[in-house]
Amino acid sequence: MPKPFTVNDPFLFVVVGIILLLVLSQAVFFLVRSWRRALALGMEKSTLWKVVKTSAAFTVVPAISILIGVVALSRKLGLPLPWLRLSVIGAITYETPAAEAAARAVGTTIGDTATMLTAPQYSVIAWVMTLGIMAGVVFTPILAKKLIGGVQGLEKRDQKWGDIFMNALFMGMIAAFLGMIFGRVTEGLAGWIPVFVMLASALIMALVGLCIKLFKWEWLRDYALSLSMLGSMALAIPITNLVMGVAK
């Protein structure tokens, strides 16, 4: 006889807990290995600690926004599935539309919290969310060595061009997302809100840089990006209220 199913069944929490412990062990494995490698290459421990502090501080705000995605999806899907999906592979930008598409395929929607999912419906949603984003898992091991080898070959042939090539790759990524920020400016003043927030973030970053130079606050470098992100997100609230008030 099938076991009774609810989206928050303790069994599901146990399975997610086991999987996430394995994910955590992968992170620890690569951390220890790369830490040892960095020391063997002659890097200072203090530099590595700066990397740890910068990375940890930078992660907090985006991780909280991921948590908001977990909360939003948990109304329909319960906690275990969104907890798992938003802790691995995916991103909010993927998991929400994936969950919606899967829910529609089984005749419901994520917004319909009045009706409970059955186990077969839940099973479809879990499979769709898992299989729909496996490209990175399949192709990274196949392509990584060739791609990294190609870049290293470039660096060996002409180191200056190799450096410029890598910088161009980074600038391309930044350009695509900076461009996206301007995507709504034709909608009127409200469409400029992301641009104003971006400018606020840039201004805070410049001010932090100025403080580091003027007052020799070197410690501030570890938190510069987090401060600009957090400060501009806080400013996004009055900016939005102001712009929406003017636009009315």
Partner 1 sequence: MSARQNARSYEDTTHLLGKIWVWGMGLVLMMFPAAVCVYYDAWPDATALLKGLLAIAPMYWAVGIIEVLTYVPMLGAGGSYLGFITGSLTMLKVPCTLAALDRAKVKSGTPEGEAVATIAIAVSSMVTLAIIFVGVLLIVPLSPILESPRLAPAFEQLLPALFGGLGVALIGRNWKIAIVPIALMVGLFIAVPSLAPSAAIFVPVAAGVAILAARIMYQKGWL
We find the least distance from the C-beta atom of residue 51 to partner 1, in angstroms, to be 5
CA 161, CA 154: separation in Å to the nearest integer? 8
The structure tokens 């930044």 sit at 174
Which one, 76 or 122, has the nearer CB to partner 1?
A: 122
We find the least distance from the C-beta atom of residue 220 to partner 1, in angstroms, to be 12
Tokens of 187: 């909608």
Q: Residue 117: helix, strand or coil by DSSP?
A: coil
Which one, 64 or 116, has the nearer CB to partner 1?
A: 64
Q: At what angle do helices 193-215 and 159-181 cross, to 10 degrees?
A: 130
We find the least distance from the C-beta atom of residue 124 to partner 1, in angstroms, to be 4
CB-CB contact of 129 with 95 (8 Å):
yes
We find the least distance from the C-beta atom of residue 157 to partner 1, in angstroms, to be 13
Which one, 114 or 223, has the nearer CB to partner 1?
A: 223
CA 140, CA 77: separation in Å to the nearest integer? 29
Tokens of 55: 């990375």
Which one, 76 or 90, has the nearer CB to partner 1?
A: 90
